[in-house]
Amino acid sequence: MKAPAFLVRAALMLFITAFCISSAGAQANSPAAPEKSKFDYQELARAPEKARNRRNPLENNTDAPAAGRKLFEKYCAECHGADAAGTGKAPSLRADEVQQATPGALFWLISNGVVRKGMPVWSRLPEPQRWQIVRFLKSLGAPEPAPQPVIN
Protein backbone atom coordinates (compact mmCIF):
# COMPACT_ATOMS: atom_id res chain seq x y z
CA MET A 1 0.00 0.00 0.00
CA LYS A 2 2.88 2.36 0.69
CA ALA A 3 4.27 2.26 -2.80
CA PRO A 4 1.07 3.48 -4.55
CA ALA A 5 0.66 6.31 -2.01
CA PHE A 6 4.19 7.29 -2.85
CA LEU A 7 3.27 7.24 -6.55
CA VAL A 8 0.37 9.63 -5.95
CA ARG A 9 2.63 12.03 -4.10
CA ALA A 10 5.23 11.67 -6.82
CA ALA A 11 2.61 12.42 -9.46
CA LEU A 12 1.55 15.59 -7.67
CA MET A 13 5.15 16.65 -7.25
CA LEU A 14 5.76 16.08 -10.94
CA PHE A 15 2.70 18.19 -11.80
CA ILE A 16 4.11 21.02 -9.71
CA THR A 17 7.55 20.46 -11.19
CA ALA A 18 6.11 20.69 -14.69
CA PHE A 19 4.70 24.09 -13.83
CA CYS A 20 8.00 25.22 -12.35
CA ILE A 21 9.91 24.04 -15.42
CA SER A 22 7.63 26.01 -17.69
CA SER A 23 7.99 29.06 -15.44
CA ALA A 24 11.75 28.84 -15.37
CA GLY A 25 11.91 28.24 -19.11
CA ALA A 26 9.71 31.20 -19.83
CA GLN A 27 11.70 33.46 -17.52
CA ALA A 28 14.91 32.44 -19.13
CA ASN A 29 13.54 33.07 -22.59
CA SER A 30 11.23 36.04 -22.25
CA PRO A 31 13.17 39.24 -22.57
CA ALA A 32 11.27 42.46 -22.23
CA ALA A 33 11.83 43.71 -25.76
CA PRO A 34 9.40 42.22 -28.28
CA GLU A 35 11.98 42.14 -31.04
CA LYS A 36 14.07 39.75 -28.94
CA SER A 37 11.27 37.23 -28.60
CA LYS A 38 12.20 33.55 -28.83
CA PHE A 39 10.68 33.56 -32.30
CA ASP A 40 12.84 35.55 -34.64
CA TYR A 41 11.05 35.35 -38.00
CA GLN A 42 13.49 32.72 -39.30
CA GLU A 43 10.70 30.19 -39.31
CA LEU A 44 9.01 32.10 -42.13
CA ALA A 45 11.98 31.36 -44.36
CA ARG A 46 11.51 27.65 -43.70
CA ALA A 47 8.17 27.56 -45.49
CA PRO A 48 8.46 25.16 -48.43
CA GLU A 49 8.35 26.80 -51.84
CA LYS A 50 5.04 25.22 -52.70
CA ALA A 51 3.51 26.64 -49.53
CA ARG A 52 5.10 30.06 -50.09
CA ASN A 53 3.61 30.28 -53.54
CA ARG A 54 0.06 29.54 -52.50
CA ARG A 55 -2.29 32.39 -53.23
CA ASN A 56 -4.85 33.60 -50.75
CA PRO A 57 -8.24 32.43 -52.07
CA LEU A 58 -9.82 35.29 -50.12
CA GLU A 59 -7.56 37.91 -51.68
CA ASN A 60 -10.52 39.78 -53.11
CA ASN A 61 -12.99 39.07 -50.35
CA THR A 62 -13.88 42.41 -48.83
CA ASP A 63 -15.05 40.88 -45.54
CA ALA A 64 -11.86 38.93 -44.97
CA PRO A 65 -9.75 41.59 -43.18
CA ALA A 66 -12.55 42.37 -40.71
CA ALA A 67 -13.19 38.68 -40.08
CA GLY A 68 -9.45 38.18 -39.74
CA ARG A 69 -9.25 40.98 -37.18
CA LYS A 70 -11.98 39.30 -35.13
CA LEU A 71 -10.12 35.99 -35.24
CA PHE A 72 -6.82 37.70 -34.42
CA GLU A 73 -8.34 39.30 -31.33
CA LYS A 74 -9.72 35.94 -30.22
CA TYR A 75 -6.72 33.72 -30.85
CA CYS A 76 -3.56 35.78 -31.44
CA ALA A 77 -3.75 39.05 -29.51
CA GLU A 78 -2.95 37.39 -26.17
CA CYS A 79 0.64 36.78 -27.32
CA HIS A 80 1.19 39.19 -30.20
CA GLY A 81 -0.56 42.14 -28.54
CA ALA A 82 -3.89 43.74 -29.33
CA ASP A 83 -2.19 45.99 -31.88
CA ALA A 84 -0.07 43.12 -33.26
CA ALA A 85 3.05 45.06 -32.31
CA GLY A 86 4.39 42.15 -30.26
CA THR A 87 4.89 41.41 -26.58
CA GLY A 88 7.64 39.73 -24.60
CA LYS A 89 5.96 36.47 -25.49
CA ALA A 90 5.68 36.80 -29.27
CA PRO A 91 7.04 39.12 -31.94
CA SER A 92 5.51 42.01 -33.81
CA LEU A 93 3.46 41.11 -36.84
CA ARG A 94 3.89 44.61 -38.22
CA ALA A 95 7.59 43.95 -38.86
CA ASP A 96 8.94 43.98 -42.39
CA GLU A 97 9.70 40.27 -42.24
CA VAL A 98 6.01 39.56 -41.82
CA GLN A 99 4.71 42.21 -44.14
CA GLN A 100 7.07 41.15 -46.91
CA ALA A 101 6.36 37.46 -46.50
CA THR A 102 4.02 35.90 -49.04
CA PRO A 103 0.46 35.12 -47.93
CA GLY A 104 1.30 31.46 -48.46
CA ALA A 105 4.26 31.63 -46.06
CA LEU A 106 2.11 33.25 -43.37
CA PHE A 107 -0.60 30.67 -43.90
CA TRP A 108 1.98 27.90 -43.59
CA LEU A 109 3.35 29.35 -40.37
CA ILE A 110 -0.08 29.78 -38.81
CA SER A 111 -0.96 26.21 -39.77
CA ASN A 112 2.25 24.63 -38.43
CA GLY A 113 3.00 26.93 -35.52
CA VAL A 114 6.47 27.07 -34.04
CA VAL A 115 5.80 24.40 -31.46
CA ARG A 116 9.31 24.19 -29.99
CA LYS A 117 9.30 27.95 -29.39
CA GLY A 118 5.83 28.17 -27.93
CA MET A 119 3.60 29.10 -30.87
CA PRO A 120 0.75 26.61 -31.09
CA VAL A 121 -0.42 24.88 -34.21
CA TRP A 122 -3.48 26.67 -35.57
CA SER A 123 -4.61 24.10 -38.08
CA ARG A 124 -7.55 23.60 -35.74
CA LEU A 125 -8.96 26.70 -37.41
CA PRO A 126 -10.54 25.88 -40.76
CA GLU A 127 -8.51 26.98 -43.77
CA PRO A 128 -10.78 29.94 -44.67
CA GLN A 129 -10.30 31.35 -41.17
CA ARG A 130 -6.53 31.06 -41.44
CA TRP A 131 -6.64 32.88 -44.79
CA GLN A 132 -8.82 35.56 -43.17
CA ILE A 133 -6.14 36.07 -40.52
CA VAL A 134 -3.52 36.35 -43.27
CA ARG A 135 -5.61 39.05 -44.96
CA PHE A 136 -5.81 40.94 -41.68
CA LEU A 137 -2.07 40.66 -41.08
CA LYS A 138 -1.35 41.94 -44.56
CA SER A 139 -3.71 44.85 -43.99
CA LEU A 140 -1.50 45.98 -41.10
CA GLY A 141 1.23 46.87 -43.52
CA ALA A 142 -0.96 48.92 -45.81
CA PRO A 143 0.29 52.49 -46.05
CA GLU A 144 -1.58 55.07 -44.04
CA PRO A 145 -3.86 57.20 -46.23
CA ALA A 146 -2.26 60.54 -47.08
CA PRO A 147 -3.68 63.41 -45.03
CA GLN A 148 -6.22 65.48 -46.89
CA PRO A 149 -5.08 69.02 -47.63
CA VAL A 150 -6.87 71.59 -45.55
CA ILE A 151 -8.68 74.06 -47.75
CA ASN A 152 -9.44 77.40 -46.23
Partner 1 sequence: MAYDHYLEEPGSLEIAWQSSYATQRGSGDFLSSVLEFEYGVTGWWTTELYLSGQSTLSDNTVFTGVRWENRIRPFAREHWINPVLYVEFENVNGADKSMLAVAGHDVEGEHGEPNAILREEREREFEMKLILSSQAKGWNISENIIAVKNISNAPWEFGYALGVSRPLALAASPRPCVACRENFTAGLELYGGLGDRHSFGLPNTAHYLAPSLAWSLPRGLALRVSPGFGLNSNSHRFLLRWSLAREFSGFGPALRRIFGGRP
Q: Where are the alpha helices (DSSP H) in the chain?
A: 2-29, 42-45, 49-52, 64-75, 77-80, 96-99, 103-112, 127-140
Residue 36's alpha-carbon distances to 15, 28, 73, 94, in angstroms, are 30, 12, 23, 15
Q: What is the number of other CB atoms lying within 10 angstroms of the CB of residue 61?
A: 15
Residue 148: phi, psi to the nearest 5?
Answer: -75, 135
Binding site for partner 1 (CB under 8 A): 4, 7-8, 11-12, 14-15, 18-19, 21-23, 25-27, 30, 32, 58, 63, 66-68, 70-71, 78, 88-89, 111-121, 123-124, 126-129, 132
Measured from the CB of residue 21, what is the shortest distance to partner 1 in angstroms? 7
Nearer to partner 1, 7 or 45 (CB): 7
What is the smallest separation between the CB atom of 131 and partner 1, expressed in angstroms?
9
CB of 115 to partner 1, least distance (A): 4
Shortest distance in whole angstroms from residue 135 CB to partner 1: 11
